[in-house]
């Protein structure tokens, strides 16, 4: 059962009751928390007992990393609540099939599935105590008016969960909008509900923006929060122009509540509940892969877990004054890094997704939607949705991609233009994708 006192306590902590005067002070506090956490997990998790064998808790940075395949392979012995992967998958699968997410728990532990960008879906387990901590922290970081001001949350996602429903309390209303429903139905429901906070993937927010421009949706919320997909610069610009407000972001995945935007609209890592090591891919451009240690969860311990994401650290501290690391952009998955061929020697040259996005967007203001897919052969498949002058826009895109290749001393990429198609809700939108055929 949820505990209102615990929720309020975590809300207060996340709102600033717990403060650090310097970054060094924050890091010392994290270190103490992690060591205590690791000691508890070592006792409770058979997997980690073996995985960390011979390494003391004070040397936790020497622990071997884990990732999603390792976590799923050892799920039964990694979690500390005795739930098997088989029974978790069966329960979560039944909830997805029936679209009834209210009974998705075993022995008081909430079970859910990540939405998954590549078919490699993850399981998450959350106890009542952890759910209360998550609820208090999320409300503190995301609610525009505080815990005691009325708010109506409209939550769009492929799957609901008791975890998400837990924010419904007091003056807070919560309504789940299933992305597998028809868009017209969702728009009509939202028009009637008149939610003051929208939480949705960018692809869905773009559809809501279309409905607003067409007059089918007339209500504008107090706050719009992008989740589940990378917020591409093209989508951010369109949404902010249509709704005339900052588009906020949440960086949340199976592995934890990792980041949220401040009042300035800057994404900050939630370093009050997770520690994040930066595995730099390109120090000059501040791109890194996060290795996370969540020192707030014990049901499913996440310790030195290497994500498959590319993050770009902000060049300057945020004006909000937060000590937490500011993120300029979440670019996407490491698997979606593309490769061009160098002009001399033929070696493969790394092309980060952001390079491709910026090149396409710079080509023409007429581009409404785009996708770039690189196949195993190296060819780029570019799909564009443009209102007019499609041929001229294609020429402009080719020019920008060739300029990018030249700047990187690479051969111009071979490009095929195909019609733009994407069905929101069924799969996650990836503007830049690499596919090994």
Residue 96 has pLDDT above 80, yes or no: no
HSE toward the beta carbon, residue 334, CA cutoff 13 A: 12
What domains does the chain contain, in order, with CATH numbers? 4-333 (3.40.50.12780), 337-434 (3.30.300.30)
Q: Which residue has the tokens 């708010």?
A: 151
Model-level pTM? 0.84
pLDDT digits (tens, 9 = 90+) for 191-238: 999 999 999 999 899 999 999 999 999 999 999 999 888 899 999 999
* Tokens, residue 325: 């690391």
Higher pLDDT residue, 332 or 322?
A: 322
Instruction: Give the single-character DSSP code of 64.
Output: P
* Tokens, residue 218: 């007339």
pLDDT digits (tens, 9 = 90+) for 351-368: 988 889 889 998 998 999
pLDDT digits (tens, 9 = 90+) for 102-121: 656 777 888 877 655 444 56
| β-pair type (223-226, 247-253) | parallel
Residue 99 pLDDT class (50, 70, 90 cuts): low
Closest listed residue to residue 224, CA positions, set 147, 141, 327, 153: 153
Average pLDDT over residues 79-108: 78
Instruction: Give the single-character DSSP code of 9.
Output: H
Cα–Cα distance measured from residue 226 to residue 230, given in angstroms and rounded to the nearest whole number: 8
Instruction: Give the single-character DSSP code of 13.
Output: I
Query: Burial, 24: exposed, middle or buried (Cβ in 10 Å; 0-12, 13-18, 19+)?
Result: exposed
Long-range contacts of 400-405, Cβ-Cβ distance < 8 Å, separation of 24 or more: 400/359, 400/360, 400/362, 400/363, 401/356, 401/359, 401/360, 403/359, 404/351, 404/355, 404/356, 404/359, 405/340
SS3 362: helix
pLDDT digits (tens, 9 = 90+) for 372-426: 999 987 899 999 999 788 899 999 999 999 999 998 899 999 999 999 988 766 6
pLDDT digits (tens, 9 = 90+) for 243-285: 999 999 999 887 788 999 998 889 999 999 999 999 999 888 8
The pLDDT assigned to 117 comes to: 45
Helices (H) and strands (E) in the chain, counts: 13, 21
Cα–Cα distance measured from residue 320 to residue 317, given in angstroms and rounded to the nearest whole number: 8
Radius of gyration of the chain (CA): 22
Higher pLDDT residue, 93 or 280?
A: 280
> Taking the alpha carbons of 135, 240, 423, 336 in that order, is the dihedral positive or negative?
negative
Higher pLDDT residue, 344 or 1?
A: 344
Q: Which residues pair with 287 in a beta bridge?
A: 282, 312
Q: For a pLDDT cut of 70, what percent of the chain falls above it?
A: 92
Q: Which residue has the tokens 């993937």?
A: 201
The pLDDT assigned to 2 comes to: 53
Q: What is the DSSP string of 313-345?
A: E-SS--TT---SPEEEEEEEEGGG-EEEEBTTT
* Tokens, residue 216: 């089918």
Instruction: Tell me if 362 sits within 8 A of 370, measured CB to CB.
Output: no
Between 233-243 and 202-214, two packed helices, what is the crossing angle to 10 degrees? 30
Instruction: Tell me if 103 sits within 8 A of 95, measured CB to CB.
Output: yes
Which of 57-66, 87-96, 162-171 is most confident?
Answer: 57-66
pLDDT digits (tens, 9 = 90+) for 156-166: 887 656 556 55
* Mean pLDDT of the chain, nearest integer: 88
* Tokens, residue 418: 């195909």
């Amino acid at each position: 059962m949820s505990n209102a006192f615990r929720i309020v306590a975590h809300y207060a902590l996340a709102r600033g009751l717990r403060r650090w005067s310097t970054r060094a002070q924050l890091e010392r506090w994290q270190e103490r928390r992690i060591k205590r956490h690791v000691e508890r997990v070592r006792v409770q998790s058979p997997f980690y007992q073996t995985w960390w064998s011979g390494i003391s808790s004070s040397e936790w940075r020497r622990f071997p990393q884990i990732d999603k395949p390792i976590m799923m392979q050892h799920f039964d012995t990694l979690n500390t609540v005795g739930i098997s992967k088989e029974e978790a998958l069966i329960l979560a699968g039944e909830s997805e099939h029936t679209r009834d997410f209210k009974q998705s728990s075993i022995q008081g532990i909430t079970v859910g599935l990540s939405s998954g960008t590549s078919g490699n879906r993850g399981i998450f387990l959350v106890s009542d105590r952890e759910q209360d901590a998550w609820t208090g922290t999320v409300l503190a970081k995301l609610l525009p008016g505080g815990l005691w001001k009325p708010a109506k949350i409209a939550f769009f996602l492929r799957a609901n969960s008791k975890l998400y429903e837990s924010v419904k309390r007091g003056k807070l209303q919560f309504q789940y909008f299933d992305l597998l429903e028809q868009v017209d139905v969702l728009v009509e429901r939202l028009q009637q509900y008149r939610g003051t906070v929208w939480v949705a993937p960018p692809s869905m927010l773009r559809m809501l923006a279309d409905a607003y421009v067409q007059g089918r949706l007339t209500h504008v919320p107090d706050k719009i929060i992008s989740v589940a997909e990378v917020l591409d610069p093209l989508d951010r610009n369109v949404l902010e122009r249509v709704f005339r407000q900052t588009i906020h972001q949440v960086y949340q995945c199976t592995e934890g509540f990792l980041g949220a935007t401040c009042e300035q609209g800057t994404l900050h890592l939630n370093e009050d509940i997770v520690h994040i090591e930066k595995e730099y891919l390109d120090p000059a451009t501040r791109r890194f892969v996060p290795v996370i240690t969540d020192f707030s969860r014990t049901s499913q311990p996440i310790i030195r877990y290497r994500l498959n994401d590319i993050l770009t650290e902000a060049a300057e501290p945020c004006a909000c004054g937060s000590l937490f690391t500011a993120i300029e952009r979440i670019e996407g998955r490491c698997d979606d890094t593309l490769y061009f061929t160098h002009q001399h020697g033929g070696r493969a040259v790394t092309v980060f997704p952001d390079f491709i996005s910026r090149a396409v967007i710079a080509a023409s203001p007429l581009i409404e939607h785009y996708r770039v897919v690189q196949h195993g052969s190296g060819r780029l498949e570019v799909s564009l949705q443009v209102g007019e002058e499609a041929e001229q826009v294609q020429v402009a895109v080719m020019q920008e991609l060739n300029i990018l290749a030249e700047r990187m001393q690479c051969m111009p990429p071979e490009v095929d233009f195909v019609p733009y198609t994407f069905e929101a809700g069924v799969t996650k939108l990836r503007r830049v994708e690499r596919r090994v055929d």
